[in-house]
Structure 1
Amino acid sequence: MNYYELNQEQAKNYLSRKNMVAILPIGAIEVHGDHLPLDTDCRLAMGVAKKLEERLGIENCAILPCIPYGQVWSLRDVPGSIHIPDEILSAYLYEIAKSLERAGVKQMVVINSHMGNGNAIKTMARRAYESLHIKVYYFTYPRAEKVIQQVCTSQRPHKVLFHADEIETSYMLYLAPEAVDMGKAISQDIEFPEDYEYTSIRWSEFMEKAVLGDAAAASAEKGKRIIDEVIEEIVAVIKGAS
């Protein structure tokens, strides 16, 4: 159920139930090459949220509107990207958690599809842990790496990072295929600066197109296999704690 479709009486009675899970998708508006739209991360966060709702049951979930803006420091200077600093994003998320607590919600699940949001989300969750009485979970494609190593075939320029490449494009082909233009998908080798792991460097300084690898190798089948595993892990965590 979409959170915003509840009326006043439903919100009063529905949100405070013991097993209710408020699902908060968060993405970003940033460039993803020419084959994916600026709202790629938003579409993915909503797609995962809906898959999660299917598994948990619509009567147990309320999906909040996706937060479209995120921390996009690495690509903030590229036209199209919109950057929100960590401290502002974290405070914004905390106020959402506090409002949900007032409504009687016991569990909030943050579905994050943009790695740059990680620090702000974790800071919010720690603050909520110390000052609120709402359990906050946060997930950014848990257990995906295990399946990625099994199904993806292209060489990754970075062992952890992914962006508009085989991985993320496969996610989109599975969750939002209508937004993908594979005719514009490219493959490019990106060479990260030697000191990248030890200092702050924007991606825009060493790549023109924001595609971190081989987008042309993507497929909906690969995306499904990875996302299905992600959903299984999220469900296991939530049900294991309830």
Structure 2
Amino acid sequence: MYMVNYTSDDFKKNLSKSDLVIVPVGSVEAHGHHLPLGTDIFSPRLFCQRIDKKIGDEVWIAPEIPYGQSYDLSIYPGTVHIPSGVMANYLYYVGKSMFNNGMGKIIFFNGHGGNINALNLASERLVPLGLDVAVINWWLDYSKEILTVTTGQGHAGEDETSAILYYDEKLVNMDKATKNTKKPLIKVRYKNRGKEIFENALTGDATLASKEKGEKIFNILEGKIIEFIHIMKNGKYYTS
């Protein structure tokens, strides 16, 4: 159920169907020379479309939050960077307003790694209100499943490029696809990290991507994500 397609009256009338809302979160950011700036928006969008088609009466889908924390890639044209603190505050107030509108559970469906800190900070603040909060980082949480399809992962790499080829291959310029084999030795932040580690605004090997691989990724992950949603709806978050 896409929230924005309902009138205020119809939203109130249908609220009894579900108190769970998915909020897609992405970024506007450089992805190599071959992928669109909206890559991190498009993957969550397609997952939500598939979720709505399968279990649309069981979950609300909120409008996308298109901007994210993109400091490392902000050296590349077209990238929009929102600091984590600012973004966390914004996400908190989005979640708080959802709670005030009758939502008891929220899933932030994230398409961008730079958002993780902000999402975690916002989640910590939302839980005391009475919300159950979860974050799905689709490429990270389901890395094991993705690697049954691709040989590697990366920013604008094989997996992400395959996903966007499946979303809309007209948006991908595969003749500009390249690879970047640099891998960080440790997790450290420093000023020139975006230029050095994310050379040409990518990591991994985009040349290995295909539309077929993207379709397989979405087919595999769709069931996993729906299972996740059903656990959230049932409210039993552990086994004994």
Establish whether TM, by shorter chain, passes 0.5: yes
Output the CA distance in 1 between the equivalents of 2:229 and 2:56: 15
Amino acid corresponding to residue 106 of structure 1 in structure 2: G
Native 8 Å contact 1:47 1:176 kept in 2: no
1:185 to 164, 177, 183: 177
Native 8 Å contact 1:40 1:172 kept in 2: yes
Partner of 2:159: 167
Q: Does 1:223 align with 2:222?
A: no
Q: Does 1:133 align with 2:120?
A: no
Residue 52 of structure 1 deviates from its aligned partner by: 2.1
Native 8 Å contact 2:40 2:111 kept in 1: yes
Q: Does 1:83 align with 2:75?
A: no
Native 8 Å contact 2:19 2:102 kept in 1: no
Partner of 2:3: 3
Q: Which runs of 4+ in 1 moved over 6 A?
A: none
Q: Does 1:38 align with 2:33?
A: no
Query: Percent sequence identity over matched residues?
Result: 32
Question: 180-189 vs 19-28, which deviates more?
Answer: 180-189
Per the normalisation by structure 2, the TM-score is 0.87
2:203 to 206, 212, 216: 212
Per the normalisation by structure 1, the TM-score is 0.87
Partner of 1:59: 57
| Unpaired runs of at least 5, structure 2 | 235-240
Alignment of 1:82-161 (within 5 A): 82-130=80-128, 132-141=129-138, 143-153=141-151
Amino acid corresponding to residue 124 of structure 1 in structure 2: A
Q: 1:112 to 1:216 in 2, by over 3 A?
A: same
Native 8 Å contact 1:45 1:112 kept in 2: yes
Partner of 1:159: none
| Unpaired runs of at least 5, structure 1 | 157-161
Q: 1:207 to 1:120 in 2, by over 3 A?
A: closer
Partner of 2:187: 197
Output the CA distance in 1 between the equivalents of 2:204 and 2:103: 41
Amino acid corresponding to residue 7 of structure 2 in structure 1: N
